[in-house]
Amino acid sequence: MLTIRFSRVGKKGYPTYRLIISEKARDPYGKALEILGSYNPHSKQLQVKADRIKFWISKGSGISPTVANLLIDKKIIEGKKVGKTDKKATKKKDAKKS
């Protein structure tokens, strides 16, 4: 399955990210199918190819939760933000039910 996600680039201690589309099982630091934009978390600057992102979504590709929330904040795509899943809390709830 194709997924739109981040790939970390930049200096040590000062990351910047590329928005890429690649196979979900493939290493995000390897070869990407297409680079869709970049994100600088320090200045909160996002540069994207909105038309290409919408194209890939229309073809059925997935989006990582972090990228989806960022694109929803910047009003590039519409939808509800994805909540963070806390694995420890989920395990505790399951243990209490048993």
- Average pLDDT per 10 consecutive residues for the chain, totaling 98 residues: 93 95 86 93 94 94 93 91 69 62
Calculated CA dihedral for residues 28, 19, 53, 43, nearest 10 degrees? 160
User: What b/e readout covers 81-90, taking b as 16+ CB neighbours within 10 angstroms?
Assistant: eeeeeeeeee
What's the confidence (pLDDT) of residue 96? 63
Range 2-78 classified under CATH 2.40.10.220: no
Residue linked to tokens 């059925």? 60
Cβ atoms 23, 6 nearer than 8 A: no
